[in-house]
């Protein structure tokens, strides 16, 4: 076969869809789905694109990024900030994202206690001296449950058009399958991890023996988690510089929970009041309405139908005030879901919402209602 | 392709990148109207009035001497498409080009000059492709060039981002300290608006406090509550009315979208085509991309039209209601007095507090190391103390009413008390009129009648007993009565309404403004229910009725003769087919107390200005009928001009005005002055009084320091506010052959702010603008087509 023809054919074949970097990220995401880690660190996080994807994974509560180059992290780090909606509707989970400036050749206690550490296309950028220290830092010191390491497979390089020596000018080396696997097996053995090999970027048919374009090793720690509190103080001082740290608003934080509860209680009370008042005015021509595109029980109208059953839970007017029993408000699923218990509800709104003298009902003054200018 | 054209489009791209849409030039840079007006070349400042010491929210931008910005064009060989790749390849050479740069993919800005005019760099892509990058110097920009100004604004936005402020729309907000208003499920974020512009003498940052109202509910929540409020039949209509035009935020990205439509035939199970061509359902997409589970699979889908995208692709985006949060206020919320009151507590900051908040932003900038470093790298810095200067407070205007002259306390800008019980300039007798009310408002109707009969004699209004008509409280009943009982002799119809429900009001107004042109006055029963205020209310109603029938209340001295004053404002209807309506009001008499009013309802494919031209023509005919000649001076106060539309106005609308004047014959050449009126401006002025800051008094004129050198412009603070900061109104004289001194134009403008008959005090804009606004609003909200021309000589829309 004509050599030129063969190369041309290959150039056409070697186009990965989705692109290889996306496949690598998807690989990590799938891994997260499988192991559901709470704390994930990305070493060599560069422009934070992997972190940006992982922040949507709902199990993750701590995300950390580490890179040797602060400016590349800084460029996009603001995209890791919470969105306005995250403040408007704080989530159940907590999430803290931190970016550190530093080297994987140095130990810093901030990297302790992680469940998953990813090193995507990282090791090939390390100088020999750094690569030497790398296993001790990641597997010996950080010692997470799982480590993922991906790196180019040089066996594949002849299939890539235009790659002369390495795929990127900053690469210090590129390993073939045998080299990577022997390094990985040795590292795993040394630090008591098991390792499995896989990759992304399938080779063209008939050339399977060159392996994946990106080779990946998934390391799983064999010994159980050492209890953090029992773990002897590691003598290391902080050497990384924190460039970015953001704590996402969460309902686990009393401040956000209280705001959310107060807001929901007042809003719900107003809806009940509004319904109650208009019913009084119009003498109850309020046919039960079914919500067309949502048969859910969350619907206010459905709820109000049930409310009437319990006499004690009905709103009532006394003088210029209308009272909405807290028990009624608590019976709304959104409110009860937020607070959990009735006691918690009372505690959270104490002093923040105007209540009746015995504290059992939300009180509204209706005298100045409808005042207009 | 020439480099020049590419360069300028590149910069636009860059300013847009933050928001992801192409946008117009918000500051109307490069529209130089002053150069054509010889009489203001030397000076555009007025002279009259008392000096007053003012500070403002402007801060000087300072740069090193001989500062310049270096603009480079960057070319790739072979051509690289992706912007990110272009950046990555270029920044491999930070050692050569430096760490401080701004790059949009083809234009590179540097604070320093590279050694050579053309620099060649070599990079290699991940695929091992060698790329030659040619960096060519195309421009050395002085600090005042328009490109540089745009660049400052880009850099400043960068700084705000570095301060961890959240961008929503055009402004930046601080999410960490929100104000919660649970009664209305609202949250208010404090933030800043900022713009850097070339002002009279220097480049300055204008920073103001901005409040973003966010809502704790999703669009789906709103739909649920609407459903329970209005029921099935009116549900879709109600959703369209409430939601279309609102801006939403999403759960998964930091972009804002405008709701343009609701697709009821679609739902989250529907599919769309991704950019790679594959089909995917919304449910799957959000799960896969963002791990978001859509819980309600039956909800409709929101449609947002994208503004021009890169490559001029017009397109629309589908959004899931459950994943969208609402921002801002709806018209309904705005009309909720209690809600606005609750909001005002947080958003109406008094002068000192406002200045303190703005000062806080400057302190953040000053204290943040990263921000300071960025500024230093570019060789820029700010004066952290705001600019102070002197303004003038012009003399208060005297109010004339039937031979009486009134002084009033200029501090309050209100003469309600002084003119109470004094005969009006022109009191129109009410001989035949209808008073329509529903059964339950019988007492209220009588109270109103008795009060009207009590207050009208001293005003000089002769009022007969009306035809009292009781009707069922239904829209059809009101209409039927009007059809049967209104005769050509009827002077006015007064309807008492029991609720502020819009449909009844709309139906009455529509009928009496179009099919049966008779002035009408609707009154809410509630406003008449308080005995302690009934006289004040009746007085106001009597005055309003009088104006609607062609009466005149008071006047100020207008020294110019044979002058016609025109006011124009626009209303943009967001609900029914996005109609635009222009209100057009022109004075008819020497005292500027009678007005000719028309409006233009924009039809598809027609420009508003064509209609405005026709209005001007009829207005001139009416003026000549009233005065037996054509006016020798015409002043047009043009309100409702959006940011970035100035160019269109200068190049298209003004020539149309001139064209219209030409049609009255070659020997007719009146002096024309066109003034653009802008209420929404970032500038705020504070009077320094006894070491503290107060709102400047009404009549404060500012025409130096914070005005623009390329314009003949000035600010007037004409109104007073009870709480918060007074907003000055900006006037930009874009065309002027009047030969009047700036002082006279300013004074005339201020005088006209006294002439709005619905308010016995000074208002924010010249009365004709407010009349035009009222008219356009009524037509846009209730009537939806041009009112009957029989009414055009009366203020029937007040």
For chain B, report the end-to-end CA distance as a whole number of angstroms. Answer: 56
Choice among B18-32, B187-201, B240-254 with the minimum mean pLDDT: B18-32
The reply to whether A9 falls in a domain is no
**Of all helices (H) and strands (E), which one includes residue A33?**
helix A20-35
Rounded to the nearest angstrom, the minimum Cα separation between B325 and chain A is: 7
Residues pairing with B493 in the sheet: B434, B520
Sheet containing B118-124: give its strands across: B102-103, B107-110, B69-77, B130-141, B118-124
pLDDT at residue number B168: 85
**Closest residue of B to A352, CA-based?**
B182
Whether the predicted pLDDT of B232 surpasses 90: no
pLDDT at residue number B654: 95
Global pTM reads 0.81
Contacts of B131 (CB under 8 A, 6+ apart): B76, B77, B78, B80, B89, B122, B123, B124, B125
Tokens of B659: 């064209």
Q: Do B128 and A167 touch (CB under 8 A)?
A: yes
Rounded to the nearest angstrom, the minimum Cα separation between B497 and chain A is: 15
Interval B462-466 mean pLDDT: 96
**pLDDT, greater one: A85 or A305:** A85
pLDDT at residue number B369: 87
Rounded to the nearest angstrom, the minimum Cα separation between A145 and chain B is: 23
CA distance A59 to A288: 40
Interval A11-34 mean pLDDT: 84
Residues A361 and A268 in one domain: yes
Q: Are strands B692-694 and B685-689 parallel, antiparallel or unpaired?
A: antiparallel
Residues from chain B that touch A266, judged by Cβ atoms under 8 A, are 182-183
Residues from chain A that touch B298, judged by Cβ atoms under 8 A, are 292-294
Residues A200 and A310 in one domain: no
pLDDT at residue number B226: 87
The reply to whether A1 falls in a domain is no
Tell which B residues from 215 to 234 touch A, by Cβ distance under 8 Å.
215-216, 218, 224-225, 227-228, 231-232
Interval B688-700 mean pLDDT: 93
Number of domains in chain A: 2
Residues A278 and A220 in one domain: no
Angle value at C-alpha B298, between B281 and B233, nearest 5 degrees = 140
Residues A26 and A150 in one domain: yes
Residues from chain A that touch B239, judged by Cβ atoms under 8 A, are none
Rounded to the nearest angstrom, the minimum Cα separation between B249 and chain A is: 7
CA-based nearest residue to B247, from B263, B259, B255: B259
pLDDT at residue number A198: 96
Confidence of residue B337 (pLDDT cuts 50, 70, 90): confident
Residues A94 and A213 in one domain: yes
Whether the predicted pLDDT of B776 surpasses 80: yes
Is A194 at the interface with chain B, CB within 8 A? no
The answer to whether B272 and B303 have CB atoms below 8 angstroms apart is no
pLDDT in tens, B737-771: 999 999 999 999 999 999 999 999 999 999 999 99
Whether the predicted pLDDT of A5 surpasses 50: no
- How remote is the C-alpha of A4 from its chain's centroid? 48
CATH code, A103: 3.40.50.150
DSSP labels for B307-374?
Answer: P--GGG--EEEEE-GGGEEEES--HHHHT-HHHHHHHHHHH---HHHHHHHHHHHHHHHHH-HHHHHH
Residues A155 and A24 in one domain: yes
pLDDT in tens, A52-80: 999 999 889 999 999 998 878 887 888 89
Residues A236 and A319 in one domain: no
pLDDT at residue number A281: 60
Tell me which residue in A57, A84, A298 faces B168 most closely, judged by beta carbons: A84
pLDDT in tens, B374-398: 899 999 998 989 999 999 999 999 9
Q: Do B300 and A266 touch (CB under 8 A)?
A: no
Residues A79 and A139 in one domain: yes
Residues from chain B that touch A88, judged by Cβ atoms under 8 A, are 187, 214-216, 249, 325
Choice among A2-6, B336-340, B542-546 with the minimum mean pLDDT: A2-6
Interval B544-550 mean pLDDT: 96
**b/e for B235-272, b at 16 or more Cβ within 10 A?**
bbebbbbbbbbbbbbbbeebbbbbbbbbeeebbbeeee
Q: How far is CA A258 from CA B44, B180, B189, in A?
A: 57, 11, 18
pLDDT at residue number A268: 86
Catalytic residues of B: 569, 607, 639, 773
Q: Are strands B118-124 and B130-141 parallel, antiparallel or unpaired?
A: antiparallel
pLDDT at residue number B435: 96
Whether the predicted pLDDT of A308 surpasses 70: no
pLDDT in tens, A317-340: 888 888 999 988 998 888 898 998
Task: Report ipTM (2 d.p.).
Answer: 0.78
The reply to whether A2 falls in a domain is no
Residues A145 and A210 in one domain: yes
Rounded to the nearest angstrom, the minimum Cα separation between B613 and chain A is: 37
Interval B110-120 mean pLDDT: 92
The answer to whether the peptide bond before residue B589 is cis (omega within 30 degrees of 0) is no
**Closest residue of A to B335, CA-based?**
A372
pLDDT in tens, B647-690: 989 999 999 999 999 999 989 999 999 999 999 999 999 999 88
% of chain A exceeding 70 in pLDDT: 82
pLDDT in tens, A184-224: 999 999 999 999 999 999 988 888 889 999 999 999 999 98
The residue segments making up the domain with residue A127 are 20-247
Reading phi first (left if > 0) and then psi (alpha if -120 to 50, else beta), residue A299 is in: beta
Q: Do B292 and A56 touch (CB under 8 A)?
A: yes
pLDDT at residue number A316: 86
pLDDT at residue number B16: 31
pLDDT at residue number A305: 47
CA-based nearest residue to B780, from B613, B637, B595, B575: B575
For chain A, report the end-to-end CA distance as a whole number of angstroms. Answer: 90
Residues A91 and A201 in one domain: yes
CA distance B275 to B309: 14
The reply to whether A138 falls in a domain is yes
pLDDT in tens, B584-595: 999 999 999 999
What domains can you pick out in chain B, each with its CATH number?
65-141 (3.30.70.2620), 215-335 (2.170.260.10), 427-549 (3.40.50.2300), 558-680+734-791 (3.30.420.10)
Q: How far is CA B219 from CA A297, B256, B274, in A?
A: 18, 14, 24
pLDDT at residue number B346: 87
CA-based nearest residue to B564, from B611, B609, B613, B626: B626
- How remote is the C-alpha of B669 from its chain's centroid? 33
**Closest residue of B to A86, CA-based?**
B251
pLDDT at residue number B345: 86
Interval B49-60 mean pLDDT: 95
Q: Do A296 and B161 touch (CB under 8 A)?
A: no
DSSP labels for B640-666?
Answer: -PPTT-HHHIIIIIHHHHHHHHHTT-T
Q: Do A293 and B296 touch (CB under 8 A)?
A: yes
Residues A159 and A56 in one domain: yes
Whether the predicted pLDDT of B459 surpasses 60: yes
CA distance B401 to B408: 13
Is A293 at the interface with chain B, CB within 8 A? yes
How many alpha carbons fall within 13 Å on the CB side of residue B452? 25
Confidence of residue A294 (pLDDT cuts 50, 70, 90): very low
Q: For residue B644, which phi and psi values (nearest 5 degrees)?
A: 85, 0
Residues from chain A that touch B524, judged by Cβ atoms under 8 A, are 372
Is A132 at the interface with chain B, CB within 8 A? no
Q: How far is CA A371 from CA B247, B351, B664, in A?
A: 29, 28, 53
Which DSSP state fits B393? Answer: E
**Closest residue of B to A71, CA-based?**
B99
Confidence of residue B446 (pLDDT cuts 50, 70, 90): very high
Residues from chain B that touch A265, judged by Cβ atoms under 8 A, are 182
Confidence of residue B786 (pLDDT cuts 50, 70, 90): very high
Interval B324-343 mean pLDDT: 84
Choice among A6-10, B529-533, B612-616, B698-702 with the minimum mean pLDDT: A6-10
Q: Do A84 and B166 touch (CB under 8 A)?
A: yes
- Across chain B, mean pLDDT equals 89
Most B CBs within 10 Å, among A84, A91, A167, A287, to test the B interface: A84
pLDDT in tens, B254-290: 888 989 899 999 999 999 888 778 899 999 999 988 8
CA distance A253 to A95: 11
Tell which B residues from 488 to 547 touch A, by Cβ distance under 8 Å.
524, 526-527
Q: Are strands A39-43 and A62-67 parallel, antiparallel or unpaired?
A: parallel
Tell me which residue in A88, A294, A298 faces B298 most closely, judged by beta carbons: A294
Query: Per DSSP, which regions of chain A are E strands?
Result: 39-43, 62-67, 96-101, 116-120, 146-152, 193-200, 214-221, 241-247, 316-318, 321-325, 361-365
**Closest residue of A to B188, CA-based?**
A88
CA distance B277 to B266: 20
Give me the count of residues in chain A.
373
Whether the predicted pLDDT of B794 surpasses 50: yes
CA-based nearest residue to B343, from B183, B174, B169: B183
pLDDT at residue number B576: 55
pLDDT in tens, A130-147: 999 999 999 999 999 999
pLDDT at residue number A367: 62
pLDDT at residue number B24: 53
Rounded to the nearest angstrom, the minimum Cα separation between B121 and chain A is: 15
Tell me which residue in B168, B216, B231 faces A89 most closely, judged by beta carbons: B216
Contacts of B353 (CB under 8 A, 6+ apart): none
Tokens of B95: 């050692």
The answer to whether B677 and B638 have CB atoms below 8 angstroms apart is yes
Residues from chain B that touch A259, judged by Cβ atoms under 8 A, are 180, 182
pLDDT at residue number B314: 58
The reply to whether A370 falls in a domain is no
The reply to whether A189 falls in a domain is yes
CA distance B668 to B676: 24
CA distance B445 to B496: 7
**b/e for A226-242, b at 16 or more Cβ within 10 A?**
eeeeeeeeeeeeeebee
How many alpha carbons fall within 13 Å on the CB side of residue A304? 24
**b/e for A345-370, b at 16 or more Cβ within 10 A?**
beebbeeebebeeeeebbebeeeeee
Is B288 at the interface with chain A, CB within 8 A? no
Is A316 at the interface with chain B, CB within 8 A? no
The reply to whether A287 falls in a domain is no
Rounded to the nearest angstrom, the minimum Cα separation between A153 and chain B is: 14
CA distance B20 to A373: 42
% of chain A exceeding 90 in pLDDT: 46
Residues A210 and A272 in one domain: no
Is A370 at the interface with chain B, CB within 8 A? yes
The reply to whether A87 falls in a domain is yes
């Amino acid at each position: 076969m004509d050599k030129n023809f063969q190369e041309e054919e290959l150039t056409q074949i070697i186009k990965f869809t989705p692109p290889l970097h996306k496949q690598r990220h998807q690989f990590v995401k799938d891994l997260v789905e499988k192991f559901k880690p709470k704390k994930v660190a990305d070493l060599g996080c560069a422009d934070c694109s992997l972190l940006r994807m992982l922040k949507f994974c709902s199990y993750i509560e701590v995300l950390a990024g580490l890179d040797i180059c602060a400016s590349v992290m800084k460029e996009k780090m603001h995209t890791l900030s919470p969105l306005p909606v995250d403040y408007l509707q704080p989530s159940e989970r907590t999430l803290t994202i931190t970016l550190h400036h530093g080297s994987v050749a140095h130990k810093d206690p901030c990297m302790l206690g992680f469940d998953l550490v990813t090193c995507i296309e990282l090791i090939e950028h390390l100088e020999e001296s750094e690569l030497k220290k790398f296993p001790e830092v990641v597997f010996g010191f950080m010692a997470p449950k799982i480590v993922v390491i991906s790196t180019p497979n040089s066996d594949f390089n002849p299939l890539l058009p235009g790659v002369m020596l390495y795929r990127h000018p900053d690469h210090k080396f590129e390993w073939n399958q045998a080299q990577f696997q022997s390094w990985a097996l040795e590292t795993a053995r040394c630090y008591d991890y098991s390792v499995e090999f896989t990759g992304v970027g399938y080779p063209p048919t008939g050339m399977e023996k060159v392996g994946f374009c990106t080779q990946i090793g998934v390391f799983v720690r064999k010994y159980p988690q050492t209890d953090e509190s029992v773990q002897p103080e590691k003598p290391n001082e902080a050497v990384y510089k924190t460039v970015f740290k953001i704590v996402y608003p969460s309902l686990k934080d009393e401040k956000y929970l209280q705001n959310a509860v107060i807001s929901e209680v007042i809003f719900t009370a107003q809806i009940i009041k509004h319904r109650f008042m208009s019913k009084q005015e119009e003498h109850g021509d309020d046919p039960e309405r079914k919500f067309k595109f949502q048969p859910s029980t969350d619907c206010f109208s459905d709820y109000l139908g049930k409310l009437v059953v319990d006499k004690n839970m009905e709103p009532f007017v006394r003088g210029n005030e209308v009272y909405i029993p807290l028990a009624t408000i608590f019976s709304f699923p959104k409110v009860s879901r937020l607070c959990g218990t009735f006691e918690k509800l009372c505690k959270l709104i104490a002093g923040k919402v105007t209540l009746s003298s015995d504290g059992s009902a939300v009180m509204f003054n209706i005298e100045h209602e409808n005042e207009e200018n | 392709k020439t480099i020049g054209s590419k360069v300028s489009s590149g910069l636009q791209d860059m300013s847009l990148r933050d928001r992801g849409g192409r946008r117009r030039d918000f500051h109307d840079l490069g529209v130089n109207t002053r150069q054509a007006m010889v009489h203001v070349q030397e000076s555009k400042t007025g002279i009259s009035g008392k000096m007053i010491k003012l500070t403002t929210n402007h801060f000087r931008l300072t740069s090193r001497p001989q500062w310049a910005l270096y603009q480079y064009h960057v070319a790739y060989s072979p051509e690289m498409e992706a912007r990110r790749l272009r950046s990555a390849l270029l920044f491999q050479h930070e050692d050569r080009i430096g760490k401080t740069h701004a790059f949009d993919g083809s234009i590179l800005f540097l604070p320093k000059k590279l050694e050579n005019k053309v620099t060649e760099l070599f990079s290699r892509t991940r695929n091992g492709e060698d790329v030659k990058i040619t960096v060519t110097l195309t421009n050395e920009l002085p600090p005042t060039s328009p490109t540089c100004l745009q660049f400052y604004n880009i850099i400043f936005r960068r700084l705000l981002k570095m301060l961890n402020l959240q961008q929503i729309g055009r402004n930046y907000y601080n999410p960490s300290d929100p104000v919660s208003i649970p009664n209305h499920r609202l949250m208010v974020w404090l933030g800043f608006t900022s713009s850097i512009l070339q002002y009279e003498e220097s480049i300055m940052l204008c920073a103001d406090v901005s409040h973003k109202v966010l809502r704790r509910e999703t669009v789906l929540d709103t739909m649920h509550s609407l459903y329970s409020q209005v029921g099935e039949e009116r549900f879709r209509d109600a959703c369209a009315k409430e939601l279309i035009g609102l801006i939403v935020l999403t759960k998964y990205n930091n972009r804002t979208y405008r709701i343009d439509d609701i697709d009821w035939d679609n739902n989250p199970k529907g599919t769309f085509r991704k950019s790679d061509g594959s089909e995917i359902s919304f449910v799957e997409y959000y799960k896969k991309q963002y791990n978001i589970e859509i819980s309600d699979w039956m909800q409709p889908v929101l449609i947002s039209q994208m503004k021009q995208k890169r490559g001029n692709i017009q397109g629309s985006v589908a959004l899931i209601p459950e994943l969208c949060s609402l921002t801002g206020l709806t018209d309904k919320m705005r009309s909720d007095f209690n809600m606005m009151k609750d909001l005002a507590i947080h958003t109406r900051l008094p002068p000192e507090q406002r200045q303190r908040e703005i000062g806080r932003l400057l302190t953040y900038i000053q204290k943040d190391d990263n921000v300071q470093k960025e500024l230093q790298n570019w060789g820029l810095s700010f004066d952290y103390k705001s600019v102070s200067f002197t303004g003038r407070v012009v003399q208060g205007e005297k109010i004339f009413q039937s031979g009486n002259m009134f002084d009033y306390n200029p501090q309050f800008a209100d003469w309600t008390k002084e003119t109470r019980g004094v005969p009006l300039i022109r009191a129109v007798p009410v001989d035949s009129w209808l008073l329509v009310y529903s059964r339950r408002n019988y007492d209220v109707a009588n109270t109103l009648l008795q009060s009207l009969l009590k207050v009208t004699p001293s005003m000089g209004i002769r009022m007969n007993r009306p035809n009292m008509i009781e009707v069922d409280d239904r829209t059809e009943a009101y209409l039927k009565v009007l059809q049967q009982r209104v005769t050509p002799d009827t002077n006015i119809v007064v309807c008492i309404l029991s609720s502020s429900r819009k449909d009844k009001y709309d139906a009455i107004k529509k009928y009496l403004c179009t099919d049966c042109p008779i002035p009408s006055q609707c009154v809410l029963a509630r406003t008449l229910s308080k005995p302690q205020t009934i006289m004040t209310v009746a007085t106001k109603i009597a005055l309003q009725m009088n104006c609607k029938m062609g009466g005149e209340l008071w006047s100020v001295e207008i020294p110019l003769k044979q002058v016609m004053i025109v006011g124009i404002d626009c209303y943009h209807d967001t609900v029914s087919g996005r109609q635009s309506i222009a209100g057009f009001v022109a004075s008819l008499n020497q005292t500027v107390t009678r007005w000719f009013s028309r409006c233009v309802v924009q039809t598809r494919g027609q420009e508003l200005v064509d209609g405005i031209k026709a209005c001007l023509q009829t207005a001139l005919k009416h003026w000549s009928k009233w005065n037996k000649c054509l006016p020798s001076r015409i002043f047009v106060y043009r309100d409702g001009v959006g940011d970035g539309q100035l160019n269109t106005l200068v190049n298209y609308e003004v020539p149309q005005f001139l064209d219209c004047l030409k049609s009255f014959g070659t020997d007719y050449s009146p002096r024309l002055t066109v003034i653009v009126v802008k209420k929404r401006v970032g500038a705020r002025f504070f009077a320094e009084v006894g070491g503290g800051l107060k709102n400047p008094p009404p009549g404060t004129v500012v025409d130096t320091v914070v005005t623009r050198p390329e314009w003949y412009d000035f600010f007037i603070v004409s109104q007073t506010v009870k709480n918060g900061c007074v907003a000055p109104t900006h006037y930009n004289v874009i065309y002027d052959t009047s030969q009047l001194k700036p002082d006279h134009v300013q004074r005339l403008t201020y005088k006209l702010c006294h002439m709005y008959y619905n308010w016995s005090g000074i208002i924010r804009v010249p009365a004709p603008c407010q009349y035009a606004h009222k008219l356009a609003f009524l037509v846009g909200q209730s009537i939806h087509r041009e009112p009957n021309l029989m009414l055009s000589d009366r203020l029937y829309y007040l």
